[in-house]
Chains A and B, each alone.
Chain A
């Protein structure tokens, strides 16, 4: 199963999630796909607007992926999470250690304003 669609975007790499749910059953494979597409030090926006459910196992995979981007000093922004999912992200304080944006344009704008070229939570 293919989880992501690679979108052309001259502002950076963009992956669009193609499934509605990420759970303990699917998240490891979905994020492994992302790792295989990661280009060294290239910024990435993951558009998750189609997602309507994520469990704590998938959040753990997301944290692991974010750590790998920080190690590479590459910007990484997640865009398009629905209000309920952002509620979970905020309750877990993930928004304190990772970057989120309501939409893809906002995600690329966030990267553009990050003068370090790395994720703004890199120092944590």
Chain B
């Protein structure tokens, strides 16, 4: 049986100025998939947070490395994988609300609040953050 899923792979260099393009692309894909403005904004934000983490933490803010964003839409919902080949995250960030006066440490909280699930996987080929959202 043919796979009816729609997939798209976007690959960027590990430069922070590239994240806006990724966000614009993801937002358009979400709207095309039928999400409303708020939900599309939420998925856009979570994707950019994951891409920021790959560039800043996995690659130490250095350009010249690859970040891959894989979009998949099927009957169950959408998933976005953000992959890198840099430093692996040593431990998962705590699932507690960040202090409103903190200057950093909000990315994972935002992803966990706005996506239906957020997973982190690592193996010999690299690291992946997997964002999932169910479609009503």
List residues of chain A with CB under 8 Å of any chain B CB: 21, 23-26, 53, 55-57, 59-61, 63-64, 67, 83-84, 87-88, 91-94, 96-97, 124
- Tell me the bound Cα distance from A124 to B55 in angstroms: 33
List residues of chain B with CB under 8 Å of any chain A CB: 15-17, 19-20, 23, 37-38, 41-42, 44-45, 48-49, 52, 55-56, 97-98, 100-104, 106-107, 109-110, 113
Extra A-B contacts (14), CB below 8 Å, given A21-B20, A63-B100, A84-B38: A23-B20, A24-B16, A24-B19, A25-B19, A26-B17, A53-B44, A55-B19, A55-B49, A56-B52, A63-B101, A63-B102, A88-B45, A93-B97, A97-B100
Can you report 14 A-B residue pairs in the complex whose CB atoms are below 8 A from each other? Answer: A23-B20, A24-B55, A25-B15, A25-B16, A53-B44, A53-B45, A53-B48, A60-B103, A67-B101, A84-B41, A92-B109, A93-B100, A97-B100, A97-B101
> Which residues of chain B come closer than 8 Å to A23, judged between CB atoms?
16, 19-20, 23, 48, 52
Known contacts A55-B49, A87-B38, A88-B110; is-contact A25 B101 (Cβ 8 Å): no
Partner of B103, one of A25, A64, A97: A64
**Dominant secondary structure at the A interface:** helix
> Which residues of chain B come closer than 8 Å to A94, judged between CB atoms?
100
- Tell me the bound Cα distance from A24 to B103 in angstroms: 12
For residue A36, give the distance in angstroms from its CB to the closest CB of chain B: 20
Partner of B100, one of A56, A88, A92: A92
**Can you name the residue of chain B whose Cβ is closest to the Cβ of A88?**
B45
Partner of A60, one of B42, B97, B104: B104
- Tell me the bound Cα distance from A21 to B18 in angstroms: 12
> Which residues of chain A come closer than 8 Å to B49, judged between CB atoms?
55-56
**Can you name the residue of chain A whose Cβ is closest to the Cβ of B110?**
A56
For residue A67, give the distance in angstroms from its CB to the closest CB of chain B: 7
